[in-house]
Amino acid sequence: MNHRSTVFARKGETLEAPTPSPKCAADNRIESAHESAIPIAVPARLTMCPFEPNNNQRFNALRPDSDEGARDVLPRLVEGDPLELLSRCAEHLAREALLLDLSRLHARSLALVARRIEEVAAEDSDYWLNDRVDEAASQLIHEEQFEERLGFPPPRAEDPRSSLLVGALGIEPALTRGVSVSFHHMSREDRLTFWRAVVAGEPIAGIAEDDGDTREGVLESLRGVIRTMSLSGLPEDRHQKNPHSKTERDTP
């Protein structure tokens, strides 16, 4: 049975620029995301693993029979998650600040591990498993870039990333994939600033202190990220009216 929990962005400092000039749309979105305690409904498994795998399960999962194929191994990897792939996937998303669907990343990681499990050695299993999660994430990012470039329609199933992007930036659910593609073209440093401030709800002052930056420097970086994401979520005809705006740092 799936349980869902509601995570609230923590209230932080007022994100107003020190100058008396009117706030830009990006500033308003920062305040909306950070100050208004917007509830973001996410599966409980995003932040925790609801089980405690034992060593026997892990040992058995890593030592398949020579006659077994990927389909035989996969059920053992799913039941009880002995290799802790779900928590590895959640940690990877937070560490790299990626806007990917956790359930898709977990499923892709399971498939890669089941298909290539004969490669792993017991002494370096953690490194090998983390590499498979990283490989799965890279595959999903490139697939979304390809789909967006060719104009494939977004999947019909509800994208769990939509709740964050709608609540924080007011971006339509149908544009989630395109905005995510734009986000993944940004530097890891910029992505982490957005993740910490908007997704994790950390105070701006704390981010600035950790990064050795000023509060205004963090806000400026955050404004740029949100501005780029918002422009990439505009309909094409409206975006053409902003020819000097750059939605992506690189071409997919």
The reply to whether 107 and 199 lie within a common domain is: no
Domain boundary among 150, 168, 186: 150
Confidence of residue 50 (pLDDT cuts 50, 70, 90): very low
| Residue-level pLDDT at 76 | 79
Distance CA 222, CA 84 (A): 33
Are both 109 and 195 inside the same structural domain?
no
Q: Which long-range contacts (CB under 8 A, 24 or more apart) does 125-134 make?
A: 125/62, 125/83, 129/83, 129/85, 129/88, 130/88, 130/92, 133/85, 133/88, 133/89, 133/92, 133/105, 133/109, 134/92
Task: Kindly state whether residues 161 and 143 are assigned to the same domain.
Answer: no
Site of tokens 């990439």: 232
What's the pLDDT band for 167 if we cut at 50, 70, 90? Answer: confident
Same domain, 61 and 135: yes
pLDDT at 41 over 60: no
Q: Between 246 and 48, where is the model more confident?
A: 246
- Please say if the pLDDT value at position 160 is more than 60: yes
Which residue carries 């400026």 as its tokens?
A: 220
Cβ-proximal residues to 194 (8 Å cutoff; 6+ apart), any chain: 97, 183, 222, 225, 226, 229
pLDDT band of 96, cuts 50, 70, 90: very high
Give residue 47's pLDDT: 36
The pLDDT of 192-202, averaged and rounded, is 93
Q: Residues 134, 161: one domain?
A: no
- Domain termination residue (choose one: 150, 185, 216): 150
Domain containing 228 equals 13-37+157-239
Task: Write the pLDDT tens digit of every residue in 103-140.
Answer: 999 999 999 998 888 887 666 788 999 999 999 999 99
Give DSSP secondary structure letters for 27-68: HHHHHHHHHS--EEEEEGGGT--SS---HHHHHHHHS--TT-
Residue 244 lies in a domain: no
Lowest mean pLDDT, pick from 10-14, 79-83, 106-110, 119-123: 10-14
Contact 8, 37 (CB under 8 A): yes
For residues 117 and 184, membership in a common domain is answered with no
Contact 102, 48 (CB under 8 A): no
Does the structure show a pLDDT above 80 at 37?
A: no
Whether residue 50 sits in one domain with residue 123: yes
pLDDT on residue 43: 39
Whether the predicted model's global pTM rises above the 0.85 cut:
no
